[in-house]
Amino acid sequence: MIASVQIQYASANAEHAAKDTSDKQSNETLPSVGEVAVSTEDYERSAPVDWPDLVMRIQRGDDSGMEDLYRLFSRGIRFYLCRQLGMQELDDKVHDTFLIVVQAIQRGDLREPDRLMGFVRTVVRRQVAAHIDHVVHSRRDELHLDVGVRVADGRRNPEQNMVFQQKVDFMLEILSQLSERDREILNRFYLREETQEEICREMALTETQFRLLKSRAKARFGEMGKRKLQQKALVPFFSRVSAG
Protein backbone atom coordinates (compact mmCIF):
# COMPACT_ATOMS: atom_id res chain seq x y z
CA MET A 1 0.00 0.00 0.00
CA ILE A 2 2.78 2.40 0.94
CA ALA A 3 4.56 1.59 -2.31
CA SER A 4 1.49 2.50 -4.31
CA VAL A 5 1.20 5.79 -2.43
CA GLN A 6 4.80 6.55 -3.31
CA ILE A 7 4.23 5.92 -7.00
CA GLN A 8 1.20 8.18 -7.10
CA TYR A 9 2.97 10.73 -4.92
CA ALA A 10 5.48 11.75 -7.55
CA SER A 11 3.07 12.03 -10.47
CA ALA A 12 0.71 14.13 -8.40
CA ASN A 13 3.33 16.77 -7.66
CA ALA A 14 3.60 18.16 -11.17
CA GLU A 15 -0.19 18.45 -11.56
CA HIS A 16 -0.45 19.94 -8.12
CA ALA A 17 2.08 22.68 -8.78
CA ALA A 18 0.00 23.81 -11.74
CA LYS A 19 -3.18 23.60 -9.65
CA ASP A 20 -1.63 25.70 -6.87
CA THR A 21 -0.74 28.38 -9.38
CA SER A 22 -4.22 28.51 -10.88
CA ASP A 23 -5.80 28.50 -7.42
CA LYS A 24 -3.72 31.47 -6.38
CA GLN A 25 -5.14 33.39 -9.28
CA SER A 26 -8.74 32.64 -8.40
CA ASN A 27 -9.53 32.37 -4.71
CA GLU A 28 -13.27 32.11 -5.26
CA THR A 29 -12.89 28.74 -6.96
CA LEU A 30 -11.45 27.14 -3.81
CA PRO A 31 -13.77 24.31 -2.85
CA SER A 32 -14.57 23.91 0.80
CA VAL A 33 -16.23 21.49 3.16
CA GLY A 34 -19.64 22.83 4.07
CA GLU A 35 -19.26 26.51 4.75
CA VAL A 36 -15.73 26.40 6.08
CA ALA A 37 -14.03 29.74 5.69
CA VAL A 38 -10.56 29.36 4.27
CA SER A 39 -7.52 31.51 3.93
CA THR A 40 -5.08 31.20 1.09
CA GLU A 41 -2.05 32.39 3.02
CA ASP A 42 -0.45 28.99 2.95
CA TYR A 43 -0.42 29.11 -0.84
CA GLU A 44 2.12 31.86 -0.55
CA ARG A 45 4.46 29.71 1.48
CA SER A 46 7.14 28.08 -0.58
CA ALA A 47 10.28 27.85 1.58
CA PRO A 48 10.81 24.60 3.47
CA VAL A 49 9.88 24.87 7.13
CA ASP A 50 12.62 24.72 9.74
CA TRP A 51 10.67 22.70 12.32
CA PRO A 52 13.27 22.80 15.15
CA ASP A 53 13.53 26.58 14.81
CA LEU A 54 9.74 26.95 14.84
CA VAL A 55 9.41 24.74 17.92
CA MET A 56 12.19 26.65 19.69
CA ARG A 57 10.47 29.99 19.00
CA ILE A 58 7.17 28.66 20.37
CA GLN A 59 8.92 27.35 23.47
CA ARG A 60 10.45 30.80 24.01
CA GLY A 61 7.00 32.36 23.69
CA ASP A 62 8.15 34.29 20.63
CA ASP A 63 5.15 35.84 18.80
CA SER A 64 6.64 34.99 15.41
CA GLY A 65 6.59 31.30 16.38
CA MET A 66 2.89 31.44 17.23
CA GLU A 67 2.15 33.31 14.02
CA ASP A 68 4.03 30.79 11.90
CA LEU A 69 2.34 27.88 13.65
CA TYR A 70 -1.06 29.45 13.00
CA ARG A 71 -0.21 30.29 9.39
CA LEU A 72 0.96 26.75 8.70
CA PHE A 73 -1.76 24.78 10.43
CA SER A 74 -4.89 26.93 10.80
CA ARG A 75 -6.53 26.00 7.50
CA GLY A 76 -5.60 22.32 7.87
CA ILE A 77 -6.86 22.01 11.43
CA ARG A 78 -10.04 23.84 10.48
CA PHE A 79 -10.54 21.62 7.46
CA TYR A 80 -9.93 18.41 9.42
CA LEU A 81 -12.21 19.36 12.31
CA CYS A 82 -14.94 20.59 9.97
CA ARG A 83 -14.80 17.41 7.90
CA GLN A 84 -15.01 15.21 10.99
CA LEU A 85 -17.32 17.20 13.23
CA GLY A 86 -19.14 19.77 11.11
CA MET A 87 -19.39 23.52 11.41
CA GLN A 88 -20.79 23.74 14.92
CA GLU A 89 -18.50 25.70 17.27
CA LEU A 90 -15.70 25.26 14.77
CA ASP A 91 -13.83 28.43 15.78
CA ASP A 92 -13.78 27.34 19.41
CA LYS A 93 -12.52 23.88 18.50
CA VAL A 94 -9.73 25.31 16.33
CA HIS A 95 -8.76 27.70 19.11
CA ASP A 96 -8.73 24.91 21.72
CA THR A 97 -6.56 22.76 19.46
CA PHE A 98 -3.98 25.53 19.03
CA LEU A 99 -3.96 26.16 22.74
CA ILE A 100 -3.29 22.48 23.48
CA VAL A 101 -0.52 22.32 20.86
CA VAL A 102 1.23 25.48 22.10
CA GLN A 103 0.98 24.50 25.78
CA ALA A 104 2.26 21.00 25.05
CA ILE A 105 5.22 22.39 23.08
CA GLN A 106 6.02 24.86 25.86
CA ARG A 107 5.88 22.07 28.44
CA GLY A 108 8.42 20.18 26.35
CA ASP A 109 6.07 17.34 25.39
CA LEU A 110 7.31 17.41 21.80
CA ARG A 111 10.67 15.70 22.04
CA GLU A 112 11.41 15.57 18.31
CA PRO A 113 10.71 18.96 16.69
CA ASP A 114 10.84 17.40 13.22
CA ARG A 115 7.71 15.45 14.16
CA LEU A 116 5.61 18.58 14.67
CA MET A 117 3.15 17.64 11.90
CA GLY A 118 2.58 14.23 13.48
CA PHE A 119 2.24 15.83 16.89
CA VAL A 120 -0.41 18.28 15.66
CA ARG A 121 -2.25 15.42 13.94
CA THR A 122 -2.33 13.46 17.20
CA VAL A 123 -3.73 16.44 19.09
CA VAL A 124 -6.39 17.05 16.43
CA ARG A 125 -7.42 13.39 16.37
CA ARG A 126 -7.70 13.37 20.18
CA GLN A 127 -9.88 16.48 19.98
CA VAL A 128 -12.14 14.73 17.47
CA ALA A 129 -12.30 11.56 19.58
CA ALA A 130 -13.05 13.56 22.75
CA HIS A 131 -15.81 15.47 21.01
CA ILE A 132 -17.40 12.30 19.63
CA ASP A 133 -17.17 10.68 23.05
CA HIS A 134 -18.82 13.73 24.63
CA VAL A 135 -21.64 13.80 22.06
CA VAL A 136 -22.30 10.07 22.37
CA HIS A 137 -22.41 10.22 26.17
CA SER A 138 -24.56 13.32 26.36
CA ARG A 139 -27.06 11.91 23.87
CA ARG A 140 -27.08 8.58 25.64
CA ASP A 141 -27.78 10.38 28.91
CA GLU A 142 -30.56 12.35 27.27
CA LEU A 143 -32.21 9.44 25.54
CA HIS A 144 -31.18 6.57 27.80
CA LEU A 145 -30.60 4.73 24.57
CA ASP A 146 -27.51 3.42 22.87
CA VAL A 147 -28.17 4.65 19.36
CA GLY A 148 -25.92 5.45 16.42
CA VAL A 149 -24.91 9.10 16.40
CA ARG A 150 -24.04 11.25 13.45
CA VAL A 151 -21.52 13.69 14.83
CA ALA A 152 -20.74 15.89 11.85
CA ASP A 153 -23.58 18.22 11.02
CA GLY A 154 -24.44 17.26 7.46
CA ARG A 155 -27.22 19.79 7.05
CA ARG A 156 -26.90 22.19 4.17
CA ASN A 157 -28.74 25.31 3.21
CA PRO A 158 -31.24 25.24 0.29
CA GLU A 159 -28.70 26.62 -2.16
CA GLN A 160 -26.15 23.97 -1.25
CA ASN A 161 -28.86 21.33 -1.58
CA MET A 162 -29.69 22.59 -5.05
CA VAL A 163 -26.03 22.51 -6.12
CA PHE A 164 -25.68 19.01 -4.76
CA GLN A 165 -28.83 17.86 -6.55
CA GLN A 166 -27.34 19.23 -9.76
CA LYS A 167 -24.23 17.12 -9.19
CA VAL A 168 -26.37 14.04 -8.62
CA ASP A 169 -28.16 14.79 -11.91
CA PHE A 170 -24.78 15.04 -13.71
CA MET A 171 -23.84 11.72 -12.24
CA LEU A 172 -27.14 10.14 -13.29
CA GLU A 173 -26.60 11.40 -16.82
CA ILE A 174 -23.09 9.95 -16.89
CA LEU A 175 -24.36 6.63 -15.56
CA SER A 176 -27.09 6.51 -18.21
CA GLN A 177 -24.42 6.72 -20.90
CA LEU A 178 -22.37 3.84 -19.52
CA SER A 179 -22.76 0.17 -20.30
CA GLU A 180 -24.40 -2.00 -17.67
CA ARG A 181 -21.03 -3.57 -16.89
CA ASP A 182 -19.34 -0.21 -16.36
CA ARG A 183 -22.18 0.92 -14.13
CA GLU A 184 -21.77 -2.28 -12.16
CA ILE A 185 -18.09 -1.49 -11.62
CA LEU A 186 -18.84 1.99 -10.28
CA ASN A 187 -21.68 0.60 -8.22
CA ARG A 188 -19.42 -1.97 -6.62
CA PHE A 189 -16.76 0.63 -5.80
CA TYR A 190 -18.76 3.64 -4.64
CA LEU A 191 -21.93 2.11 -3.29
CA ARG A 192 -20.95 -1.34 -2.11
CA GLU A 193 -17.45 -0.11 -1.24
CA GLU A 194 -15.70 -3.18 -2.59
CA THR A 195 -11.97 -2.77 -3.01
CA GLN A 196 -10.29 -2.36 -6.38
CA GLU A 197 -8.69 -5.80 -5.96
CA GLU A 198 -12.04 -7.49 -5.31
CA ILE A 199 -13.72 -5.79 -8.26
CA CYS A 200 -10.88 -6.54 -10.68
CA ARG A 201 -10.76 -10.15 -9.59
CA GLU A 202 -14.49 -10.78 -9.77
CA MET A 203 -15.07 -8.87 -12.99
CA ALA A 204 -11.88 -9.96 -14.76
CA LEU A 205 -10.56 -6.42 -15.09
CA THR A 206 -7.01 -5.15 -15.13
CA GLU A 207 -6.03 -2.41 -12.71
CA THR A 208 -5.63 -0.04 -15.66
CA GLN A 209 -9.11 -0.76 -17.01
CA PHE A 210 -10.56 -0.10 -13.58
CA ARG A 211 -8.68 3.15 -13.06
CA LEU A 212 -9.51 4.33 -16.58
CA LEU A 213 -13.22 3.82 -16.13
CA LYS A 214 -13.21 5.65 -12.82
CA SER A 215 -11.11 8.55 -14.05
CA ARG A 216 -13.19 8.94 -17.25
CA ALA A 217 -16.40 9.12 -15.25
CA LYS A 218 -14.84 11.69 -12.95
CA ALA A 219 -13.45 13.74 -15.83
CA ARG A 220 -16.87 13.76 -17.49
CA PHE A 221 -18.39 14.88 -14.18
CA GLY A 222 -15.87 17.73 -14.01
CA GLU A 223 -16.59 18.78 -17.61
CA MET A 224 -20.32 18.90 -16.95
CA GLY A 225 -19.75 21.05 -13.87
CA LYS A 226 -17.55 23.47 -15.82
CA ARG A 227 -20.08 23.68 -18.65
CA LYS A 228 -22.83 24.46 -16.16
CA LEU A 229 -20.69 27.22 -14.61
CA GLN A 230 -20.04 28.73 -18.05
CA GLN A 231 -23.77 28.67 -18.83
CA LYS A 232 -24.44 30.44 -15.54
CA ALA A 233 -21.86 33.08 -16.41
CA LEU A 234 -23.55 33.66 -19.79
CA VAL A 235 -27.05 34.15 -18.36
CA PRO A 236 -26.49 37.79 -17.24
CA PHE A 237 -24.87 38.53 -20.62
CA PHE A 238 -27.87 37.20 -22.59
CA SER A 239 -30.36 38.90 -20.31
CA ARG A 240 -28.53 42.23 -20.86
CA VAL A 241 -28.53 41.67 -24.61
CA SER A 242 -32.25 40.85 -24.70
CA ALA A 243 -33.05 43.82 -22.42
CA GLY A 244 -30.99 46.18 -24.57
d(Cα 202, Cα 210) in Å, to the nearest integer?
12
Rounded to a whole number of angstroms, the minimum distance from the CB of residue 231 to another protein is 19
**CB-count burial class (<10 Å; 0-12, 13-18, 19+) for 189:** middle
Nearer to another protein, 36 or 139 (CB): 36
d(Cα 95, Cα 116) in Å, to the nearest integer?
18
Quickly list H helices, the chain. 2-25, 41-44, 51-60, 63-85, 90-107, 116-143, 158-176, 180-186, 196-202, 207-243
The residue count for binding another protein (CB under 8 A) is 63
Among 75, 77, 126, 123, smallest CA distance to 101 is for 123
Rounded to a whole number of angstroms, the minimum distance from the CB of residue 12 to another protein is 4
Rounded to a whole number of angstroms, the minimum distance from the CB of residue 100 to another protein is 14
Binding positions for another protein, 94-153, rule CB under 8 A: 117-118, 120-121, 124-125
Which residue in the set 65, 68, 80, 200 belongs to the binding site for another protein (CB under 8 A)? 80
Q: What does the binding site for another protein look like in residue numbers (CB under 8 A)?
A: 1-2, 5-6, 8-13, 15-16, 19-20, 23, 30-33, 38, 40, 42-43, 45, 48-49, 72-73, 75-77, 79-80, 83, 117-118, 120-121, 124-125, 164, 167-168, 170-172, 174-175, 180, 183-184, 186-187, 190-193, 195, 211, 214-215, 218, 221
